[in-house]
Amino acid sequence: MSAPLLRLTGVGKTYGAVRALAEVDLEVAAGEITCVLGDNGAGKSTLIKIIAGVHESDEGQVELGGEAVRLRSPRLAIECGVATVYQDLAIAPLMPVWANFFLGRELLKGRGPFQRMDIARMREIARSELAAMGIDGVDVERPIGGLSGGQRQCVAIARAIHFGAKVLILDEPTAALGVKQAGVVLRYVLAARARGLGVVFITHNPHHAYSVGDRFLLLQRGRSQGCFLKSEITLEDLTRRMAGGIELDELAHELENRGAPAARIAGA
Amino acid sequence: MATPETGALAGAVLVYLFFFAVAPPFRDLSSLSTVLYVSSIYGIPALAVAMLMIGGEFDLSSGVAVVSSALLASMVSYELTANVWVGVALSLVAALGMGALNGYLVIRTGIPSFLVTLGSFFMLGGLNLAGTRLVTGSVATPSISDMDGFASAQAIFASNLDLGGVSLRITVLWWLLFAALATWALRRAPFGNWIFAVGGAPLSARAVGVPVRRVKIGLFMTVGFAAWFVGMHQLFAFDTVQSGEGVGKEFYYIIAAVVGGCLLTGGQGSAVGAVLGALIFGMTTQGIVYAGWNPDWFKFFVGALLLGVILLNAGVRRWQEARA
């Protein structure tokens, strides 16, 4: 088997006295969705920042396509084919969809002082790329701020794919969405996988993760609580671990032993 | 219809009709020429200020920077007994440098440009007075009209064109040329796309690889250039410069930009809007004179206009959002 698109081995990061992440291993293969699950403060964002080149890791190794790399800046990460869709999506709400799609990578035409943006072509490509993701009927001339949360998410994903991402990192793409919108986004995550990308899907929702994921990395307080293939874990187990299940079990057990007060707490 | 300058266009038409009705001299072609001249003097810096505001920043030092540029050019030429173009060139370098410094401080420190340029506004204002006193011993620069290069510089910055009996100041043409360039830059150049992005969503812009620092510093330097240009006009139109002038003009530029549809928070606006905003200004200043009113009313009218157009813009925006 060829090397995975992205492999992290023993990665760690310390901010001052806080060890935000320690000894984390992660593997992302082409055409696979790797979910990173954890509660707030589990180290999910630190992990993304390392992969996206925002922060460099202090320990461990990052490999892309089998080669060790140092991702020193977001720009470098993008050039290496790692695209990150952040929670805030990195969009300018007042600008039209097409301008957002090509922001920072505008297509040009003409020469010398007459060089200018090829707006017609950018509009056309944005429209067709969105259509390829199954998003029809979006007026690319509209300010992107006027689209629904799910649609904005999809534009950001389509943009990453168009610009040659091999590894797509999605930072809590469903967190702020309603049930229906989240479903729409999950469908696009699957579409990205179908196009052969390696997807890192960060979430704290085990239901969303389990419905699309192939592999699950559980993080807790900056440490890995294990990495599982879908065949190795059930949704119940994932949910329980995710919710700090083992700790909750211990707590419930402790409360039971104390008798009556536990019932009151459980009832409350 | 969905353009930010809708309010400004309506405002310009209303102000024009108003003075057309109440001030008979306003209807003359020569009056129109004067109105355009006054508008251009506000309008050239207003274009740059509008671009800066679209990029999400402020420059309070632009009014005194006009005078600083004129003072510097004049005094350098006079003291060195050099060709005035030497002073003009040095002054340009200084103006661009000042803009770059403003931009650099804003970006480096993360302190709002309102505060940074408030500081540079007072410093430049003080420097204008103290520096002029130090060099010339007076509050104004000596006349440089008999110096080498004055005629050619005057031809470029402050000449009159004769258009079939009506005299038109050259600054009007420069203003329209700059407006065309600004429109091109904002609408067609990738740089323009980046200006909207750094103003509306700076973090997003950075995340997708827009060179935010370069764009912002470039915008502050554009304001420096515009201030220099108007400073050169004033120098070669009046050939001496009063060191205490310019204070308060920065607000007029900002008002023209805002009336023209610029958002205070950045990310929206246009060059055409800034042109209309400056035109409203020019019409009001001159209209009050032609109507024979006390010019003391000018500021009151400007304030009322600003408020009116802002309310109108907000209304239009809400109406468009309701329809969208």
pLDDT tens for chain A, residues 1 to 268: 567 888 888 888 888 888 888 888 888 899 999 999 888 778 888 888 888 888 888 888 888 888 888 888 777 888 888 888 887 767 888 899 999 999 888 899 988 878 889 999 999 999 988 888 777 778 888 888 888 878 888 888 888 888 888 899 988 888 877 788 888 888 888 888 888 889 999 988 888 888 899 999 988 888 888 888 888 888 888 888 776 666 666 777 777 777 555 445 444 4
Residue A1 falls within a domain, yes or no? Answer: no
Supply the CATH number for residue A70's domain. 3.40.50.300
Single-letter amino acid, residue A199:
V
Residue A268 falls within a domain, yes or no? Answer: yes
A103 min Cα distance to partner chain B (Å):
7
ipTM associated with this complex: 0.79
Size of interface A-B (CB pairs under 8 A): 69
A120 min Cα distance to partner chain B (Å):
11
| Same-domain pairing of A165 and A195 | yes
| Same-domain pairing of A159 and A70 | yes
Q: Which of B184, B190, B208 sits opposite A90 (nearest CB)?
A: B208
B281 has pLDDT over 80? yes
| Same-domain pairing of A242 and A164 | no
| Same-domain pairing of A11 and A50 | yes
On chain A, the residues whose CB falls within 8 A of the CB of B324 are 142, 146
| Same-domain pairing of A223 and A267 | no
Helix (H, G, I), strand (E, B) or coil at B312: helix
| Same-domain pairing of A26 and A109 | yes
User: Residue A12's domain spans which residues?
Assistant: 6-233
| Same-domain pairing of A204 and A253 | no
| Same-domain pairing of A191 and A246 | no
B190 to A106: CB separation less than 8 angstroms, yes or no: yes
Residue A196 falls within a domain, yes or no? Answer: yes
A103 to B210: CB separation less than 8 angstroms, yes or no: yes
Residue A10 falls within a domain, yes or no? Answer: yes
A117 to B188: CB separation less than 8 angstroms, yes or no: yes
**Best B193, B212, B321 residue to mutate vs chain A (most A CBs within 10 Å):** B193
On chain B, the residues whose CB falls within 8 A of the CB of A89 are 204
| Separation CA A247–CA A112 (nearest Å) | 65
Give the residue-averaged pLDDT of B271-298: 91
- Please give the mean pLDDT across all residues of chain B: 91
| Same-domain pairing of A91 and A159 | yes
Question: Token pair for residue A65?
Answer: 């396509």
| Same-domain pairing of A141 and A249 | no
Residue A67 falls within a domain, yes or no? Answer: yes
| Same-domain pairing of A179 and A243 | no
* pLDDT the model gives residue A227: 84
| A231: Cα within 13 Å, side-chain hemisphere | 0
* pLDDT the model gives residue A268: 43
| Separation CA A251–CA A228 (nearest Å) | 25
Using CA atoms, how far residue B171 sits from A27, A191, B16, B143, B275, in Å, is 64, 57, 21, 21, 13
Q: Which of B189, B205, B209 sits opposite A75 (nearest CB)?
A: B209
Residue A149 falls within a domain, yes or no? Answer: yes
| Same-domain pairing of A11 and A56 | yes
A88 touches chain B (CB under 8 A): yes
Structural domains of chain B sorted by starting position, each given as residue range(s) with its CATH number in brackets: 6-317 (1.10.3470)
Query: What is the edge-to-edge ordering of all strands in the sheet holding A223-229?
Result: A67-69, A59-64, A6-15, A18-28, A223-229, A215-220, A32-38, A198-203, A167-171, A82-85
Residue A181 falls within a domain, yes or no? Answer: yes
- The count of structural domains within chain A is 2
A100 min Cα distance to partner chain B (Å):
9
A116 to B197: CB separation less than 8 angstroms, yes or no: no
B55 has pLDDT over 70? yes
- Burial label, A164 (beta-carbon count in 10 A; 0-12, 13-18, 19+): exposed
- The pTM of this model reads 0.84
Residue A95 falls within a domain, yes or no? Answer: yes
* pLDDT the model gives residue B72: 96
